[in-house]
Chain A
Amino acid sequence: MGSTRGASLLAGVVLAALIALVLTSARTVEDGEIALAEAKLDFILLETEGTIERNLGLGLPLDELQQVEPLLERTVGRAPEILEVDVFSTAGVTLFSTDRGAVGEAVPLAWIAAITEEQGLTRWRARERETTTLGVPLLNDFGRTEGFIALILTGNALAVPLSRVPELLLAAAPVLAGVVTLAALLGALIGGRADRRLAVAAEALRTREAERLDGDGTALGEAVAAAIRRSTRAGEEVDAAALEMRRIDAEI
């Protein structure tokens, strides 16, 4: 195998695995940060949802609830990352919004896709170019979905995918360098020892010293040693036969 090949192989695999580990770890940390940010926003979202659902329990249809608008105004002020709060119908039309211009408009398709993904039953999250939206269904007393409430957040409210990669890669660099160096040394050691017997056999063949392979114990060593001895003897016998033939030639 050779020490160079062994070193490069082990170092390469270890380096690739560690870079992939750092990338995946960065995504895991980002997911944790997203979960924490969402926990805070979920609290706000669920409080608002609870208030609206209590009103729905009084039997009024969602689009006629008078208390929703001031409630949404209060909600938008509870966290700086909340840009806008919307309530929309199951048909995807905005019923109430802190952005008055949005009322009556269809909600973005990304929200509908996210709701479909969660089968309209649990909290959903939709990422768009500049915003992230969290939403929950609004259920009446019979468990039927009457509409949805959505918190529209700033783009950086939740960790952006791969945003932690540079930081973690930089932090990991000294460990990566040390371990990859160690891997190269170890790979050279294992690779170098792996097929040393090939070099010994080649050297024995070059120098025609079968004794070098005595006690080798491998099939290769035994075959090469036997081949050297037989070749040497064959050479001598061919030379002897040629000498005898030349004698006959001289006699003729």
Chain B
Amino acid sequence: MPRSERRAAQFGRSDRIAVSFGFAAAALVLAAAVLLEAFRFGPALVRLDAGARGVAAAVGRAVANDIERALALGIPLDGMVGVVPYLDAIRTANPSVSALAVADRANAVLFASPPDGVLSAAVATAVVAGETTVGAVLVTPADAIAERVRSHLRALGGAFAILAGLAIGVVVRLWRLERIDLPEARFVAGGRAVARGVFADFSVPRPGPFTPLGIAAARLTGPVRRAHRRFLALTDEVTALDVAGRYRGRIAAVHASLGEFVFERPIRRRALERVLLWWPLLALTAGEATRLLAASFAADRVVSGPVTAAAVSASIGAGALGGLAGLGLAVLLAGRMAKLAAFVALLVAAAANAAVFTTRDINHFVALQAVAGAGVWLAVFAVAGDVRLGRRRPFLAALLLLAALAIGPVLGVIAAEAAGRRAAYLIAGVTMGGVALLVLATSPGGAPRLRTRLTPGETLALATAGLALTAWADIHLSVIVLREDYAGLALHAGLIGAAMLMPAALGMTSRAPLGAALATAALAASALIAIPFALVSLAIGLGLGTAVHALGARGLSVPAIAALLFGTFAAAAVTAIPSLLPDTAAARIGGRELAALAAAGLAFFALITARR
């Protein structure tokens, strides 16, 4: 097997193990969620049904009071006028009521809203005139709230299952890279050298899974090296005794018999073992956590109408522009004062995120978005730009980026479901502050290389995929489809994240423009035909994952991130067009459709450029 294939097989094994852990965790959490909802959360859900009947009883009592007042004025129950419109008005204003009716003493329905409403499970409230019961108000509670809670619990079960799978998969994969794959590659290289007859002083693997192998290898080669040293000492002794030089030829022949072996070769030692892959992953995850919350937060800060689209676009666009500014600053710094820059930038980003907790003004929010975006990307690339760092792990840079893009939004939206949207921003800010302290306390080394070039096709592909993801998840799902449904949004974020990591997990080797084309096709399909939203989320996630994974080590580089941020900005700008240009063809087309058109244009050029 050629060396490259062996290396691929070796890394493929770690991929498979990471995927096994991921699937096992996801399956177990999903099974537990199903069991909990079916068998253990029953009493809590039954209480919701009882609560709905309490609402129905309160509505019934209020209607009965009004009818009793009319009866007191001498109007007979069956002769009252305007009762149906009155019941219609109450039902329309109260989503917790599905049907209302007024029945006479014989339980015959006199007035009903809607006329064919189901009353079999209705709560009855007696209508009393004087001392006599003359009829009843029947109110059927709507199960909308209980059903919403059930649907949220199901979505949360799915989101947590995906989150657990993604988290353990990424952790196992990164752990295996550091503790298995790289030590194994070095150990195999040492073994091959021994097989070629080189018995040099190989470095001992650092404590971990390879310690027993290292010790056994030392016990294998150690005696041979010692025997050789004894042989050399004996040779020196014999050469010294052979004053006349009569045995010089025989001594040389014996010495030459060991000529195929190399026992002393200076090994260049490199201080590269301990690196921190974790802090960029944590910082980016915290930065991405609020990604799906920004648009709806902005929309809630303004009066609904055309200005909503402008607010959404401004907040998303500001985050992207801030990120681009952070990248630019990192390039200018070029690795100078890397640790200080990363620390300060992370603190600024942390403060900007945490400040959203108390922000009520849209302009302040837009500014904070820009500052947070700049801080995160400056922090990561301030360190990556330090060319003096010899301790790099660029191999899985794309995985780092995809893991943050996949896990961050799920965590953020779940935090919003549990504690509220503002609290989610606060948690992201506190996490970033913690990462800043971690950076201060440790070496920030381990970020991937800076100086990377992308082809025009790759750049366009990343911009397209970023545009499609933003238009779909950040804007369409979070502002329009799932505005108040964080559990549903978390599930979609999980689907997008899982699909994003699929190319890395399965070792797919498609080209970046194909990923862009897939994401574009999914966005366009969502605008043109009735297609399940989950399918669109999966396809867009897979498209972005394919585009980033195709770049490998270049996935987390300045040009790649700049292209993604440009795509995000383009999505924000395109979405704003209909509100900025009312009474035009653009306004009639709609923001998502325009985004799909823009993505299609970019994807076309990406494919054309890639073919050349």
Q: Does chain A bind chain B?
A: yes
- Measured between beta carbons, the chain A residues less than 8 angstroms from B257 are 237, 240-241, 244
Shortest CB-to-CB span from B352 to chain A, Å, is 20
Q: Is the CB of B24 within 8 A of A186?
A: yes
Residues of chain A within 8 A of B487, CB atoms compared:
28
Q: Is the CB of A43 within 8 A of B58?
A: yes
> Does B247 make an interface contact (CB < 8 A)?
yes
B interface footprint on A226-243 (CB within 8 Å = 1, 0 otherwise): 111111001101111110
Q: Is the CB of B231 within 8 A of A13?
A: no
A206 to B184, CA, bound (A): 18
Secondary structure class of chain A's binding surface, majority of residues: helix
CB neighbours of B210 from chain A (8 A) = 198
Structural contact, A9 and B62, CB atoms closer than 8 A: no
Interface size bucket, A side?
35 or more
Cβ B234 vs Cβ A242 within 8 A = yes
| Cross-chain contact A24 with B418 (CB below 8 angstroms) | yes
Specify which chain B residues have a CB less than 8 angstroms from the CB of A20 in the assembled complex.
Answer: 160, 414
* With known contacts A32-B149, A36-B52, A218–B10 Cβ distance under 8 A: yes
A46–B161 alpha-carbon span in the complex (Å)? 41
Contacts of B220 in A (CB 8 A): 205, 208, 227-228, 231
Alpha-carbon gap, A32 to B197, bound state (A): 73
Residues of B near A224 (CB, < 8 A) are 191, 213, 217
Cβ contacts under 8 Å, B54 to chain A? 36, 40
Residue B360 CB within 8 A of the other chain: yes
Is A252's CB under 8 angstroms from B247's CB?
A: yes
* B87-117 interface code vs A (CB 8 A; 1 in, 0 out): 0000001111000000000000000000000
Contact (A2, B209) CB under 8 Å given A32-B146, A241-B254: yes
B216 at the interface (CB under 8 A from A): yes
B254 x A244 contact (CB < 8 A): yes
Are A223 and B213 in contact, with the CB atoms below 8 A?
A: no
A244 to B52, CA, bound (A): 99
Q: In the complex, what distance in Å separates the CA atom of A10 from the CA atom of B93?
A: 49
Q: Output the least CB separation between B34 and chain A (Å).
A: 10
Q: Chain B's interface: helix, strand, loop or mixed, by majority? A: helix
Q: Mark B524-566, 1 if CB is under 8 A from A, else 0.
A: 0000000000000000000000000000000000000000000
Structural contact, B228 and A186, CB atoms closer than 8 A:
no
Cβ-based interface call for A202 (8 A): yes
Task: Annotate B136-161 by CB proximity to A: 1 below 8 A, 0 otherwise.
Answer: 00000000011011001100110011
Chain A residue at minimal CB-CB distance from B5: A219
| Cβ-neighbour of B6 out of A35, A117, A171, A219 (below 8 A) | A219
Distance (Å) between the CB of A122 and the closest chain B CB?
10
Contact check, B153 vs A9: say whether CB atoms are below 8 A apart: no
**Which of the residues A33, A194, A231, A234 comes within 8 Å of B47, measured between beta carbons?**
A33
Q: Which of A35-54 contact B (CB under 8 A)?
A: 35-37, 39-40, 42-44, 46-47
Q: How far is the CB of A23 from the nearest CB of chain B, in Å?
A: 6
Contact code string B220-253 (vs A, CB < 8 Å = 1, else 0): 1101100110110011011001100001001100
Whether the pair A17, B25 counts as a contact (CB closer than 8 A) is: yes
The answer to whether A249 has its CB under 8 Å from any CB of chain B is yes
Question: B20: CB under 8 A from chain A?
Answer: yes
Q: Which residues of B contact A211 (CB under 8 A)?
A: none
Q: A36-B51, A44-B58, A205-B219 are in contact. Are A17 and B163 (CB under 8 A)?
A: yes
A171 adjacent to B197 (CB under 8 Å)? no
Are A28 and B152 closer than 8 Å at their CB atoms?
yes
Given contacts A1-B209, A13-B168, whether A35 and B191 have CB atoms under 8 Å apart is no
A226 CA / B180 CA spacing, docked (Å): 21
> Which of A36, A201, A242 neighbours the largest number of chain B CB atoms within 10 Å of its CB?
A36
Verify if B275 is at the interface (C-beta below 8 Å from A).
no
CA distance A220 to B20 in the complex (A): 22
* Identity of the chain B residue whose Cβ is nearest the Cβ of A234 in the assembled complex: B224
A residues near B188, Cβ cutoff 8 Å: 219-220, 223
Whether A205 contacts B216 by the Cβ 8 Å rule is yes
Shortest distance in angstroms between A49's beta carbon and chain B's nearest beta carbon? 11
* Given A22-B36, A238-B224; A183-B254 close (CB under 8 Å): no
Contact (Cβ within 8 A) B247 A31: no
Residues of the A chain whose Cβ atoms lie less than 8 Å from the Cβ of B9: 218-219
**Interface pick from A65-73, A101-109, A144-152, A172-180:** A172-180
What residues of chain B lie closer than 8 Å to A63, measured between beta carbons? none
Say whether A36 contacts B228, CB under 8 Å. Answer: no
Q: Tell me the minimal C-beta distance from B503 to chain A in angstroms.
A: 22
The answer to the question of B347 belonging to the interface, with a C-beta cut-off of 8 Å to chain A, is no
- Asked if A79 contacts B58 (CB within 8 A), the reply is yes
Q: How far is the CA of A79 from the CA of B59 in the complex (A)?
A: 12
* A182 and B234 contacting across the interface, CB-CB below 8 Å: no
Bound complex: CA A223 to CA B156 (Å): 48
Is the pair B41, A29 in contact by a Cβ cutoff of 8 Å? yes
Contact A179 B28 (CB under 8 A): yes
Q: Which residues of A sit under 8 angstroms from B247, Cβ to Cβ?
A: 248, 251-252
A220 contacts B238, C-beta separation under 8 Å: no
A123 part of interface (Cβ distance < 8 Å):
no
- Which parts of A92-141 form the interface with B (CB within 8 Å)? 116-117, 119, 121
Residue of B nearest to A31 (CB): B149
Q: Does B35 contact A (CB under 8 A)?
A: yes
Given contacts A32-B48, A43-B55, contact A9 B192 (CB under 8 A): no
Of all chain B residues, the one with the shortest Cβ separation from A245 is B234
Chain B CB within 8 A of A14 CB: yes
Given A25-B153, A202-B216, are A190 and B17 neighbors across the interface (CB < 8 Å)? Answer: yes
Report which of B20, B195, B419 forms a contact with A27, defined as CB distance below 8 A. Answer: B419
- B58 touching A248 by the CB < 8 A rule? no
Inter-chain contact A252/B40, CB cutoff 8 Å: no
- Chain A residue numbers with a CB within 8 Å of B221 are 227, 231
Q: Does B21 contact A (CB under 8 A)?
A: yes
Tell me, yes or no, whether A18 is within 8 Å of chain B by CB: yes
Chain A to chain B contacts (Cβ below 8 Å), 28 pairs: A1-B176, A2-B209, A6-B21, A9-B171, A9-B172, A13-B168, A14-B164, A32-B145, A33-B47, A36-B48, A37-B51, A40-B58, A42-B94, A46-B93, A171-B43, A183-B28, A205-B219, A218-B9, A224-B217, A227-B190, A238-B261, A241-B257, A242-B231, A242-B234, A244-B254, A248-B250, A249-B234, A252-B242
Task: Beyond the given A25-B41, A39-B94, please list 8 additional residue pairs across the A-B interface where CB-CB is below 8 A.
Answer: A10-B21, A17-B163, A23-B418, A190-B20, A198-B213, A244-B250, A248-B250, A252-B247
The 9 closest A-B pairs by CB, nearest first: A223-B191, A226-B195, A205-B216, A32-B149, A36-B51, A17-B164, A227-B194, A39-B96, A219-B6
- By a beta-carbon cutoff of 8 Å, the part of chain B in contact with chain A is 1, 6-7, 9-10, 17, 20-21, 24-25, 28-29, 31-33, 35-36, 39-41, 43-45, 47-48, 51-52, 54-55, 58-59, 62, 93-96, 145-146, 148-149, 152-153, 156-157, 160-161, 163-164, 167-168, 171-172, 176, 180, 184, 187-192, 194-197, 199, 209-210, 212-213, 216-217, 219-221, 223-224, 227-228, 230-231, 234-235, 237-238, 241-242, 247, 250-251, 254-255, 257-258, 261, 303, 360, 414, 417-419, 487
Interface residues of A (CB under 8 A from B): 1-2, 6, 9-10, 13-14, 16-18, 20-25, 27-29, 31-33, 35-37, 39-40, 42-44, 46-47, 78-79, 116-117, 119, 121, 164, 167-168, 171-172, 174-176, 179, 182-183, 186-187, 190, 194-195, 198-199, 201-202, 205-206, 208, 218-220, 223-224, 226-231, 234-235, 237-242, 244-246, 248-249, 251-252
